Structure 1
Amino acid sequence: MTKYQRAEYKLTLAQLDFWEEFRLHPGEAVSTVAHAVELRGAVDADALARAITQVVAETDVLSLRFTEGDEGPRQQLDPTRRPELRHLDFSVRPDPMADAMAMMQADVEAPLDLVNQPLSQQWLIRLGADRFVWYNRGHHIVLDGYAMGLMETRCAQLYAAHRDGLPTGEPLTSFFAYLTEEGDYRASPRHAKDGQHWTDILSAPPAPKVLQKGSEDYPASPMCHEESLVDLRPSLLARASELGIGWPDLLTALCSAWAALELRDHSAARVQDSAGRVTMPIWLPYMSRMGSVAIRIPALVVNILPFDASVAATESVAQTVTQLAGRLRKLRRHGRYRIEQIGFDYGLGASQRFFFSPLINVLPFEPARFDGTETQRHVLSNGPGDGFNITIRGDGEANGLDLCLEADPVLTPPADFTRHAVTLPAFLRAALALDAGERPIGALLTQPETV
């Protein structure tokens, strides 16, 4: 380990947010993240174990130790914190997958002490001669969703290398390269320019809602609706091609339009002008990795940004989507500027943060493919969410599209949530229909099939 890696470092702004959450919610499992990668087929267990072990060794954030002193929290690599791969055999059990899932879920739901406990667990569970599960658990303070996928993709590459004697490829990049790059960015003129952009955005109404840190009353059982959208793929790809935008942006724009016109939730802010145009701050996760060393670093890098969605019910679907897609492109040009810094610039105190609701998250990530096997990823936890959340998952080609709606029953009356669970999928199907482009977007909310 280099002298640079032995040193102590301040937490990044993103990490500091989760550190404060940990301190303000003692004894709660609020931001544990885990994936269970299920493999079926001719699995080479030895090659898989070697691949997982190597990925863990390359993912240095899994070995971080957090300490807190007079100058605040610090982080340092500690090799003794690196998780060792635990081998479990459930193959003789009557329902091995059910037992494995129960054990993994119990681990996710257990409180995680960021000071005194290792941050990660790594298990390889044998369910049968041709069926295994790799359980990869961490905490949001060190891993985001992209990081988990990056670990899985690297593991699949190493699995093929160890199984077939192929080159192992380039290792994952060190977390400390990101710390250096982020420091350079924050000291650059671009950082100041990006900050001015967000100051201008948030100076316009409506004012985003704000929470006192520690006051979050995360629901034990948020309302949830899941629905397959696989039938949308042909029309989604066709409309995206016609409009000249990517399908994830098209879905983000349509969900934003629906939220502005339809969502009634006590966490959402909106204003409507005399012409009927509605403006609502939507919150969007931003990967914040393109053009950065972070593209190869499993760590917490994802940002959350305010998207100033402005929608008029009388404008056409095509016009609305085009306008919103243009605003998305502008958002990304300034997307590296941290939401925590945006909050400071806005005037939030150290004990305050924005209320990230509604939040729209379209995830077009390719799953890792382990040669010779059928692979399925199970997401056990994404951590708690604020208010109303819309998540759509699919691969890069829009295969396997799934919708998940979540809401806090204190903020969204159950009857409203039931209606939203019907109207949003119906709105997406109506808006992507062949003849919908020139129709007023508001009219799609009043069709009989959407009520």
Structure 2
Amino acid sequence: MSTFSESTFSGSAFSTVTFPTVHWPLSAAQRDLWLPLGHESARRHGWDDPVHAIAQYVDIQGSVDLSAFRNAVEQAVAEAECLHLRFTVDDDQVWQHVSPVRSVPLTVVDLSDQAEPLAAALTWMRADTGRSVELINGPLYRHALLVVADDRFLWYYRTHNIVLDDYGCFLLNRRVADLYSARTAGRAGGEPFGSLRSVIDEDARYTESAACSRDRAFWTQRYADAPVPVSLADLTVPATGRFLRRSVTLPPSVVQDWSEVADRCGTSWSTVVIATVASYLRHVTGVPEVVLGLPRMCRRRSVSLNVPCSVANIVPLRVEIAPDASLREVSRRVADEVLAVWPHERYRSEWLRHELHSGTRERRLYGPVVNVSPISYELWFGDHRGTSHPLAAGAVHDLTVTVHAGDAGADLRVDFDANPAMYTADDLTVHLRAFLDLLDTAPTRV
């Protein structure tokens, strides 16, 4: 068997870009990720556990101008201040600063002579995703371009959730595609990313604001009874970054079918999907009230809209379901609850968990997480189409159901990611099939 061929580009034109070394405190989202581990463990272990890994690859269908791609990637990475963060601990205070930007060499891995190049590339990327990321010493970001054919390339990168969330990945992917397209067309590449400091300052203003106090009052009143979340599994264990995944790709016509059901329910099709998960959880557990986790981007009317960073939150969504409730009734309950919590999405769920369960770190606010992602996964590198694929999206506590629905007219992908300490591969397959069966029979249950 032939060996993998690797080479590294260096000496980028963007290697001289620098940022001033100014220390900032952590944002609220970053503290949520840092504090559960504790800075002593972070210093000692360097966050070796990949539980908070963020990793993606972009599948580019077409030939790539390697020089233009290298320059596009390195410019985008240089602009993304979050990818150059370093953390220091001073007594009990954690600080972060942006180190001077150096070229992040782009490793090229040629797998085109392998018997199954795509399978070899996936193996390579998954192995790299499982490697440690050291918060204290860095680096927090690494990337590679994997060649699987003369006309197919996979751009892969890996970082940590403390610096980048799912929307941040979307911004990075889009910027690279735009810069590459501009360079190959001989035009300017558009506006760079915004300032990370503006996001930190905005976050600090929120935590001291009356809006934050109103959000706290909303959540503590709504969850004063501290409901116990239910799960499709029989035990509770710590979160993991090594998860089981079962996926299915559905044709675009499925969205049309769901939309017709949603019209009959008086809601959106994404609400119908959430209601279906809630109904399935109610059916399997027999518990009349379920609490799901609902991811929120938290970038509405925010300076973070064009800043790669980590600000996303997962809020609890409690839904009471009668044994004989129709899909219309459950969908309306979900829609009403989403509408109620939406204005208060910036209040961190970790803050609420601490309010309700102080001293009991193991208690969670919600069971399975349902994410109907509106983010576009389609990109264009000149005339060549690219699609982004998440390999790791942070911690998986229980079960995460993700419906990738960002592109009209494109195939729909459904991922079931599960904590392997709670579910077997067979369990996951059964739950995915049952969920799809419920969606297929949705028109008869309205």
Choose from 171, 178, 198 the match for 2:199.
178
Aligned to 1:306: 316
Pair 1:370–1:246, CA change in 2 (3 A): farther
Aligned to 1:362: 372
Q: CA deviation at 1:166?
A: 2.5
Does the CA contact (< 8 Å) of 1:305 and 1:339 recur in 2?
Answer: yes
Pair 1:106–1:243, CA change in 2 (3 A): same
Does the CA contact (< 8 Å) of 1:64 and 1:81 recur in 2?
Answer: no
Aligned to 1:343: 353
SS in 2 for 1:354: coil
Does the CA contact (< 8 Å) of 2:193 and 2:307 recur in 1?
Answer: yes
Aligned to 1:252: 274
Which region of structure 1 is more displaced relative to structure 2, 404-413 or 106-115? 404-413
Pair 1:194–1:82, CA change in 2 (3 A): farther
Matched, 1:6 2:21: yes
Does the CA contact (< 8 Å) of 1:224 and 1:404 recur in 2?
Answer: yes
Distance in 2 (alpha carbons) for counterparts of 1:257 and 1:398: 28
Q: CA deviation at 1:2?
A: 12
Pair 1:221–1:143, CA change in 2 (3 A): closer
Aligned to 1:97: 118
Which region of structure 1 is more displaced relative to structure 2, 338-347 or 154-163? 338-347
Does the CA contact (< 8 Å) of 2:51 and 2:242 recur in 1?
Answer: no
Which region of structure 1 is more displaced relative to structure 2, 18-27 or 242-251? 18-27
Q: CA deviation at 1:298?
A: 0.9
Which region of structure 1 is more displaced relative to structure 2, 143-152 or 224-233? 224-233
Aligned to 1:284: 294
Aligned to 1:430: 441
Matched, 1:77 2:98: yes
Structure 2 letter corresponding to 1:394: A
Aligned to 1:405: 416
Q: CA deviation at 1:341?
A: 1.9
Choose from 4, 13, 17 the match for 2:32.
17
Deviation string 1:297-347 (CA, Å, 9 cap, x unpaired) is 111111010101111232332232122112111111110111122223325
Distance in 1 (alpha carbons) for counterparts of 2:299 and 2:241: 33
Distance in 1 (alpha carbons) for counterparts of 2:187 and 2:211: 42
Choose from 400, 421, 424 the match for 1:389.
400
Distance in 2 (alpha carbons) for counterparts of 1:135 and 1:416: 30
Matched, 1:421 2:442: no
Matched, 1:193 2:214: yes
Distance in 1 (alpha carbons) for counterparts of 2:37 and 2:199: 23
Does the CA contact (< 8 Å) of 2:50 and 2:241 recur in 1?
Answer: no
Matched, 1:52 2:62: no
Aligned to 2:9: none
Pair 1:242–1:166, CA change in 2 (3 A): farther
Matched, 1:163 2:178: no
Does the CA contact (< 8 Å) of 1:43 and 1:372 recur in 2?
Answer: no
Aligned to 1:238: 260
SS in 1 for 2:51: coil
SS in 2 for 1:51: helix
Q: CA deviation at 1:138?
A: 0.8
SS in 2 for 1:36: strand
Q: CA deviation at 1:115?
A: 1.1
Q: Paired residues, what number?
A: 419
Matched, 1:35 2:35: no
Deviation string 1:225-270 (CA, Å, 9 cap, x unpaired) is 32333352221122334545333233123222322x2244xxxxx8
Ranges in structure 1 where 5+ consecutive residues have no aligned partner: 265-269, 272-277, 438-451
Matched, 1:374 2:382: no
SS in 2 for 1:245: coil
With the length of structure 2 as denominator, give the TM-score of the two structures: 0.84
Pair 1:3–1:148, CA change in 2 (3 A): closer
Does the CA contact (< 8 Å) of 1:257 and 1:309 recur in 2?
Answer: no
Structure 2 letter corresponding to 1:156: A
Structure 1 letter corresponding to 2:126: Q
Aligned to 2:13: none
Distance in 2 (alpha carbons) for counterparts of 1:303 and 1:81: 31
SS in 2 for 1:6: coil
Does the CA contact (< 8 Å) of 2:241 and 2:395 recur in 1?
Answer: no
SS in 1 for 2:255: helix
Distance in 2 (alpha carbons) for counterparts of 1:396 and 1:33: 22
Pair 1:221–1:195, CA change in 2 (3 A): closer
Distance in 2 (alpha carbons) for counterparts of 1:81 and 1:341: 36
Does the CA contact (< 8 Å) of 2:172 and 2:308 recur in 1?
Answer: yes
Q: CA deviation at 1:37?
A: 0.9
Q: CA deviation at 1:44?
A: 2.6
SS in 1 for 2:50: coil
Aligned to 1:442: none
Distance in 2 (alpha carbons) for counterparts of 1:410 and 1:152: 32
Deviation string 1:192-243 (CA, Å, 9 cap, x unpaired) is 1111110012113524589xxxx95456975543233335222112233454
SS in 2 for 1:384: coil
Distance in 1 (alpha carbons) for counterparts of 2:255 and 2:197: 40
Aligned to 1:144: 165
SS in 2 for 1:321: helix
Pair 1:251–1:15, CA change in 2 (3 A): same
Does the CA contact (< 8 Å) of 2:230 and 2:290 recur in 1?
Answer: no
Distance in 1 (alpha carbons) for counterparts of 2:357 and 2:102: 38
Which region of structure 1 is more displaced relative to structure 2, 405-414 or 375-384? 405-414
Deviation string 1:131-181 (CA, Å, 9 cap, x unpaired) is 222112111111111111111111111111111122311111121111111
